[in-house]
Amino acid sequence: MTTTRSPAGPRPRAGGVDPTPGRSPRQALPFLLPALVVLAALVLYPLVYSLIRSFFDRAGTGFVGIGNYVDLFTDPRTLTAFKNNVIWVVVAPAVVTGLGLIFAVLTERIRWATAFRLVLFMPMAISLFASGIIFRLVYEEDPARGVVNAVSVGVHDLFSAPSPYPKAQPRDGVPFTAAEEGFTSTRTYAPGSSVVVPLAGFPPNRLPEGASRASEPAVDARELRGVVWLDVSVGGVAGALDNGERGLPGLAVEAVRDGQVAGRATTGNDGRFTFPDLADGQYSVRLAAANFTLPFRGLTWLGSTFITPVIISSWIWIMTGFAITFIAAGLAAIPRDALEAARVDGATEGQVFRRVTVPLLSPVLLVVFVTLVINVLKIFELVFVIAPGSVQEEANVLALQMWQVSFGAGGDQGVGSALAVVLFLLVAPAMLFNIRRFRRERS
Amino acid sequence: MRRLKVTAALAAALGAVTACGAGTTAPGADSRSLSGQVVEVIGPWTGDEQLRFEQVLDEFEKSTGAEVRYTPAGDELPTVLQTRVQGGTPPNVALVAQPGLVEQLAGAGSLKVVSPEVEKAVTEHNAGVWKRLGTFDGKLYGVHFKSANKSTVWYSTEAFDAIGAEPPRTWEDFLKVGRAVVDTGQAAVSVGGADGWTLTDWFENVYLRTAGPDNYDKLAKHEIPWTDPSVREALETLGELFGDPRLVEGGGAGALQTEFPQSVITVFGDEPKAAMVFEADFVASVITTSTKAKVGEDAKFFKFPSIGGSQDAVVAGGDMAVQLKDDQATTELMEFLASPDSGRVWAKLGGFLSPNKSIPADAYADDVTRELVKQLVDAGDNVRFDMSDLAPAAFGGTKGAGEWKALQDFLANPRDVDAAVQRLESEAAKAFGR
């Protein structure tokens, strides 16, 4: 490039040393050599060797042609990894660039902008591995450990109280079946009879304070009576009211006739319930489902359904700071008079943002976006750490698959190298784009 | 002959140590003969275990004068070792938990056959099965130094007392006790299904009992396919437990989110949610480090229940010492590791089981360990090595792939035995076919 700009320069003396340095490639060579050697050893050699290695088998001795590539594109695990990489590339960089833009523009207006940006930039200072462990805990399923589920359970329980006896159910052999509305008796009872319902599946030490010893109520000809108790004790007989077995207080019981609820009752401390004024006839007895609904435990974030979005969300948390920093720097370089002119012409802030700021920023946005794409394609640690073993296949990405194939699963470095080459080919266009861009900016 | 003398002196010295209970070893006449020689050992142990193993090595250093350098490689040991071998700088001795890797290295000529003295010690001190495990192509390459008893079910005595249950001996009793536990609002077992290896251990224990040791050996070598009726039967048996969401804490989906240490805490932590957890003897160390429960009081164990009248059988794991060089110091270290003297040092420190039957029971630190070792030694030739560790790593040792993933899918849907055996077979065929 320099030669074209200086056609009038003095000609080098034949055989001698060029008096004007920087013109002769021969003279430049010794200066470039150290860098070239390092580049060749650390970049070029591994690159070429990976390419060659990808045509050889597991042991590295037998030539298999494109066999490894065929293996790779027929392996469902690699295909899942491809699919996930596509999701990553489509979603993650766009979201991060967008968030970065919004935060950068907003923070420009506030007084403590630097402090604010510093906070948002902080996640970048944590290693990806450590961030992964943090998010692994954040999304843990057990609300006692995972903060996301702790919050969702807390909010959920504000609106609907948890049931008193989750998981309890009538013992086998008792004439009750599970229905949508609750456990319903398969036989019917007339007033004057007594219903005994032994339940199991609830810890005796978690019964309410007031619960007292259960006993069968005396029969009264006009009333339908019964008892519901926790049929669990050491040495107790299933279905029998053994010593020390207590009633379940506060349980909602319904008497049902022809599908209609004819009466409602609540059990007392000894587990007894009474329907005092039922008309003559046959009733089935129902223990309302609300007594037993399992507590809301939040969502299985780290299950196969949500795993990729969850990992992407943690990457967004980490990388947004990076985007903000670059975009804010770009923002500072925008000529103020363009913005002022637009405002003077009566543009609203929204219009200024869309019509002036974003177009002027677009080169920066593009660089940030492309850099993020490259970063996303080689994502590894987050997936490795956050996804539990049981869903690692569903969360798999190319870089992780490459590592697993090469070192994890019996060390097939042939297929591993093939994956590395594919990954390189995917990253290459984005890199070329960035390089060309930098060059154009310089010239 | 110098070597023999050293060994004799070493044995005498160690004998003296155990006899008087003192910690110092009086050097014998020839004992410093190896001074100046350096032996590098690569092993999987880190943290506390590393400190304990280093005490074993200290004993060797003291009596021979050789210098031993220990490099802990953790779970990545196969990668580290293979890289070292390929790079032409192998360590002198490696402790490998995967017989499959030992076979691979032996086949590639990277390992040295052990000396006749070591072979003699292995034959003398171990059940025949351990020697067979270290033998490839008719030659002995490995010495099992440390082993794991993977046929133990650990239970909370509090949960068992609440229902007045005794440790079950048969699978039927096991399920019955489990259902009784469910009545008290807890789950019967906690399964660490997020880690695939816990599931392979479940399967191996059931399979060893329903199909017998002979079929076990065949399946381990993939001589019978995973679609064999015996596999089906084992999975159906396992399905009796996994298929009942009340028996398994959190049901299949919950178990798949539970990692192994958490599955132990679920049983022995502050808010227990299940009564039993199955895994190897190292459950005890998780209990000790992560919960307030006391092993032997709050936490006890019973043998994996017998199924259909099956005999005592133990699924075991273990670390095999192999030598990659054959200089004198290396060979002597191998002899030391094959002798009961080395194991005795660690046994005293706890957290150690040895297949070496010449280590007396009172050398072990506590009753629980003694009982674990007794089961292992008593099962004699009915001990089988963990099948997934014998298989190629692509099948038996990869997170989210192969047998691990296939059994995780089975845990998610225990009724679909067909899909499980198909997937197991196709993954196995791929991994063994290479």
- Give the domain CATH number at B46: 3.40.190.10
Of all helices (H) and strands (E), which one includes residue A330? helix A307-332
Question: Which chain B residue shows the shortest CA-CA distance from A234?
Answer: B163
Q: Do A388 and B393 touch (CB under 8 A)?
A: no
Output the average pLDDT for chain B.
88
Q: Provide, as residue numbers in chain A, all residues whose Cβ is less than 8 Å from the Cβ of B161.
A: 234
What distances in angstroms separate CA A89 from CA A82, A133, A403, B333, one per listed residue? 10, 23, 20, 54
Q: Do B408 and A235 touch (CB under 8 A)?
A: no
Dihedral over Cα of A351, A353, A354, A355: its sign: positive
Interchain CB contact of B6 with A (< 8 Å): no
Candidates B79, B182, B194; nearest CB to A201: B182
**Residue B431 pLDDT:** 85
Looking at the domain assignment, is residue B384 inside a domain?
A: no
Name the domain count of chain B.
2
The letter for the amino acid at B329 is A
Q: Do A409 and B401 touch (CB under 8 A)?
A: yes
Q: Could you tell me how many helices (H) and strands (E) chain B has, helices first?
A: 21, 12
Give the single-character DSSP code of A344: H
Rg (CA), chain B: 22
Give the single-character DSSP code of B351: S
Q: Provide, as residue numbers in chain B, all residues whose Cβ is less than 8 Å from the Cβ of A396.
A: 400
Angle formed by the axes of helices B402-412 and B229-242, nearest 10°: 50
Looking at the domain assignment, is residue B83 inside a domain?
A: yes
**A213 — phi, psi (to 5°)?**
-55, 135
Looking at the domain assignment, is residue B113 inside a domain?
A: yes
CB B361 within 8 A of CB B347: no
CA distance A250 to A256: 19
**A440 — phi, psi (to 5°)?**
-65, -40
Q: Are residues B160 and B252 in the same domain?
A: yes
Q: Provide, as residue numbers in chain B, all residues whose Cβ is less than 8 Å from the Cβ of A77.
A: 401
B47, burial (CB in 10 Å: exposed 0-12, middle 13-18, buried 19+): exposed
Dihedral over Cα of B211, B214, B219, B225: its sign: negative
Candidates A168, A231, A235; nearest CB to B164: A235
Q: Do B401 and A393 touch (CB under 8 A)?
A: yes
What is the nearest CA distance from A263 to chain B, expressed in angstroms?
30
Q: Are residues B95 and B165 in the same domain?
A: no
Q: Are residues B192 and B260 in the same domain?
A: yes
Interchain CB contact of A149 with B (< 8 Å): no
Question: Token pair 């005592």 is at which residue?
Answer: B312
CB B372 within 8 A of CB B353: yes
Question: Token pair 């979005």 is at which residue?
Answer: A309
Q: Do A200 and B182 touch (CB under 8 A)?
A: yes
**B318 — phi, psi (to 5°)?**
175, 165
CB B296 within 8 A of CB B368: yes
CA distance A182 to A288: 5
Residues with pLDDT less than 50, chain A:
1-10, 12-13
Q: Which of residues 272-291 of A touch B (CB under 8 A)?
A: none
CA distance A269 to A264: 17
Interchain CB contact of A65 with B (< 8 Å): no
The rounded Cα A141 to chain-centroid distance in angstroms is 12
Angle, CA B58 vertex, CA B57 and CA B60 arms, to 5°: 65
Interchain CB contact of B38 with A (< 8 Å): no
Q: Do A390 and B185 touch (CB under 8 A)?
A: no
How many other CB atoms are there within 10 angstroms of residue B193's CB atom? 31
Instruction: Judge if ipTM > 0.95.
Output: no
Q: Are residues B121 and B14 in the same domain?
A: yes
Res. B83 pLDDT band, cuts 50 70 90: confident
Locate B94 and state its tokens: 């490696």
Q: Provide, as residue numbers in chain A, all residues whose Cβ is less than 8 Å from the Cβ of B401.
A: 77, 393, 404, 409
**Residue B178 pLDDT:** 95
How many Å is the maximal CA-CA distance in chain A?
A: 129
User: Mutating which of A140, A304, A390, A394 best tests the B interface, going by the most B Cβ atoms within 10 A?
Assistant: A390
Q: Provide, as residue numbers in chain A, all residues whose Cβ is less than 8 Å from the Cβ of B412.
A: 390
Q: What is the pLDDT of residues B220-252, one digit of tens each?
A: 999 999 999 999 999 999 999 999 999 999 999
Q: Are residues B44 and B191 in the same domain?
A: no
**Residue B118 pLDDT:** 94
Angle formed by the axes of helices A45-53 and A413-442, nearest 10°: 140
**Residue B87 pLDDT:** 83
Q: Are residues B283 and B304 in the same domain?
A: yes
Looking at the domain assignment, is residue B136 inside a domain?
A: yes
Angle, CA A47 vertex, CA A45 and CA A50 arms, to 5°: 105
The answer on pLDDT for B218 being more than 60 is: yes
Locate A362 and state its tokens: 């677009």
Looking at the domain assignment, is residue B2 inside a domain?
A: no
Q: Provide, as residue numbers in chain B, all residues whose Cβ is less than 8 Å from the Cβ of A203.
A: 184-186
Of the residues B352, B378, B404, the one at which a domain ends: B378
CA distance A356 to A200: 69
- Which stretches of A328-384 are assigned E, i.e. beta strand? none
Q: Do B259 and A202 touch (CB under 8 A)?
A: no
Q: Are residues B295 and B220 in the same domain?
A: yes
Say what the pTM is.
0.82
Residue B311: which of B399, B381, B410, B412 has the closest Cα? Answer: B381
Q: Provide, as residue numbers in chain B, all residues whose Cβ is less than 8 Å from the Cβ of A230.
A: none
Of the residues B357, B378, B399, the one at which a domain ends: B378
The answer on pLDDT for B380 being more than 50 is: yes
Name the residue with higher pLDDT: B32 or A24: A24
Q: Do A390 and B194 touch (CB under 8 A)?
A: yes
What is the DSSP annotation of A172-223?
TTSSEEEETTEEEESS-B-BTBEEEEEEESS-GGGS-TT--B--PPPP-TT-
Residue B371: which of B303, B423, B288, B316 has the closest Cα? Answer: B303
**Residue A166 pLDDT:** 86
Interchain CB contact of A14 with B (< 8 Å): no
Residue B386: which of B260, B205, B214 has the closest Cα? Answer: B205
What is the nearest CA distance from A245 to chain B, expressed in angstroms?
12
The answer on pLDDT for B190 being more than 60 is: yes
Q: What is the pLDDT of residues A167-220, one digit of tens each?
A: 888 988 888 888 888 899 998 898 888 898 999 888 888 888 888 888 888 888
Give the bridge partners for B170, in sequence order: B306
Candidates B163, B401, B434; nearest CB to A58: B434
Q: Do B82 and A411 touch (CB under 8 A)?
A: yes
Q: Provide, as residue numbers in chain A, all residues whose Cβ is less than 8 Å from the Cβ of B393.
A: 408-411
* 3-state secondary structure string across chain A: CHHHHCCCCCCCCCCCCCCCCCCCHHHHHHHHHHHHHHHHHHHHHHHHHHHHHCCECCCCCCECCCHHHHHHHHCHHHHHHHHHHHHHHHHHHHHHHHHHHHHHHHHHHCCCHHHHHHHHHHHHHCCHHHHHHHHHHHCCCCCCCCHHHHHHHHHHHHHCCCCCCCCCEECCCCCEEEECCEEEECCCECECEEEEEEEECCCHHHCCCCCCECCCCCCCCCCEEEEEEECCCCCCCCCCCCCCCEECCCCEEEEEECCEEEEEEECCCCCEEEECCCCCCCEEEEEEHHHCCCCCCCCCCCCCCCHHHHHHHHHHHHHHHHHHHHHHHHHHCCCHHHHHHHHHCCCCHHHHHHHHHHHHHHHHHHHHHHHHHHHHHCCCHHHHHHCCHHHHHHHCCHHHHHHHHHHHCCCCHHHHHHHHHHHHHHHHHHHHHHHHHHHHHHC
Candidates A231, A302, A392; nearest CB to B399: A392
Res. B411 pLDDT band, cuts 50 70 90: very high
**Residue A336 pLDDT:** 86
Candidates A77, A200, A388; nearest CB to B183: A200
The answer on pLDDT for B412 being more than 90 is: yes
CB A210 within 8 A of CB A252: no
Looking at the domain assignment, is residue B92 inside a domain?
A: yes
Q: Do A202 and B431 touch (CB under 8 A)?
A: no
Q: Are residues B49 and B137 in the same domain?
A: yes
The answer on pLDDT for B399 being more than 70 is: yes
Q: Are residues B12 and B145 in the same domain?
A: yes
Beta strand B152-156 pairing with B274-279: antiparallel
CB B241 within 8 A of CB B189: yes
Looking at the domain assignment, is residue B1 inside a domain?
A: no
Interchain CB contact of A415 with B (< 8 Å): no
Looking at the domain assignment, is residue B385 inside a domain?
A: no
Range of the domain at B267: 152-312+391-432
Q: What is the pLDDT of residues A126-163, one digit of tens each?
A: 999 999 999 999 999 888 889 999 999 999 888 887 88
Q: Are residues B340 and B262 in the same domain?
A: no
Q: Are residues B359 and B236 in the same domain?
A: no
What is the nearest CA distance from A390 to chain B, expressed in angstroms?
5
Q: Are residues B327 and B297 in the same domain?
A: no
Q: Which residues contact B15 (CB under 8 A, 6 or more apart)?
A: none
User: Mutating which of B183, B242, B249, B271 best tests the A interface, going by the most A Cβ atoms within 10 A?
Assistant: B183
CB A117 within 8 A of CB A107: yes
